[in-house]
Chain A
């Protein structure tokens, strides 16, 4: 084939690449990897089945989600056919996880890495704040080609360790990985630390995104779309999209009952086929008494509702071990009670 393949973080960046690299193939790595399960020990194919099961829901049938994953994985498996492969990613948590997964796959195939390049940026002149490649136009994106760096054996080795740590059932493995020399991945430490902040905090039992949402609602930001937009201000490295925020709201409202939602009594998903876009937008959230107590540090969020959440390879439940994030010590601990 002899042509080039460009792998990037999603459709926005992929569509821009297609505009100025009209002779090359482009593969968007679609998966909101910061949410849902990545159990240890599974290959890419089995992982994609698990991911499809997690991401499917009202309005998105399992078969459709699985098909997209399978076609993506088949295209990746065709990598050997290309003369050059370039990975285009940014600094945030989602992109760093995508990089780990993709580079781990390349490491496992033992494909020669001498045709593999990486572009990974956390800024672009004139774009402030810089959230990601999706903000760039084709001409701006084209200038990044000069920033290409070759993927080295050190990249591949570290990616295998990092990917294993992220999928481990023990979050202390991520901490151990972060203590390694991570120079080939200059944004990894900050990104994975943000991942750890999603574990329930020792102070209130809330993950950071959940706390940000409750705080916004307490300040009067009550519509789901507004909450998504306002949450951007809380993140120095934005990684979560609207779908992810709505998953958090759904759990805070329908499972933990820290939020109340009018007019339905429960939060209904944007993809709910029985709900119009206008009906979705009009949903209005408010704090319940439980929510107020948790936000005031008078109660621990884990006391409310059955916890059932995956962060990478860690399945958080009400049962032991109850992993907690200690923000002041910047480390993960196990709750005794």
Chain B
């Protein structure tokens, strides 16, 4: 069996995959991310820290009445997520190749 590509563990976690998917579409505030992902503050904090600890997160401060931090992918985060998606696609393609065509459901009798 051929070697399958390793997946980046930072992204290979269901909440962070969704989080990364949102960030790949553009920058978001903490509240936007929290509402879209339906997470508690503490939970989102923990996942953002994982991204930051890998160098994948950029932030900028905006002041509209009160200061707010806006998050986005850093360039290395953008590259790493693109690589993750590409490797995941390779694994799925591999699985599809060996799975064969979709089976028809058998009817009883």
Contacts and interface: CB of A to CB of B under 8 A. Distances in A.
Given A25-B58, A75-B55, A1 B76 contact: yes
B58 to A, nearest CB: 7
Provide the main secondary structure of the chain B interface: mixed
B30 A75 contact: no
B66 A271 contact: yes
Interface stretch (A77-85, A113-121, A167-175, A293-301): A77-85
Contacts of A71: 48-49, 52, 57, 59
Interface in B39-81: 41, 45, 48-49, 52-55, 57-61, 65-67, 69, 74-76, 79
A191 B60 CA distance: 27
Interface in A17-62: 18, 22-26, 28, 30, 59-60
A28 B58 CA distance: 9
Nearest to B65: A277
Contact of B59 (A1, A59, A68, A81): A68
A25 B76 contact: yes
B49 A60 contact: no
A279 interface: no
Contacts of B57: 71, 75
Contacts of A59: 65-67
Interface residues of A, number: 32
Interface string A271-289: 1010001000000000000
Interface in B7-52: 30, 41, 45, 48-49, 52
Contacts of B55: 1, 5, 25, 75, 78, 81-82
A81 B55 CA distance: 8
B58 A26 contact: yes
Contact of B66 (A26, A60, A82): A60
Given A25-B76, A26-B74, A78 B65 contact: no
Interface in A237-293: 271, 273, 277
Contacts of B66: 59-60, 271, 273
A112 to B, nearest CB: 17
B30 A24 contact: no
A319 B60 CA distance: 41
Interface of B: 30, 41, 45, 48-49, 52-55, 57-61, 65-67, 69, 74-76, 79
- Leading 10 A-B pairs by shortest Cβ distance: A74-B52, A78-B55, A25-B74, A74-B53, A59-B66, A71-B52, A75-B52, A11-B61, A3-B76, A23-B75
Given A3-B75, A67-B45, 7 more contacts: A3-B76, A24-B75, A67-B48, A67-B69, A68-B59, A68-B69, A77-B53
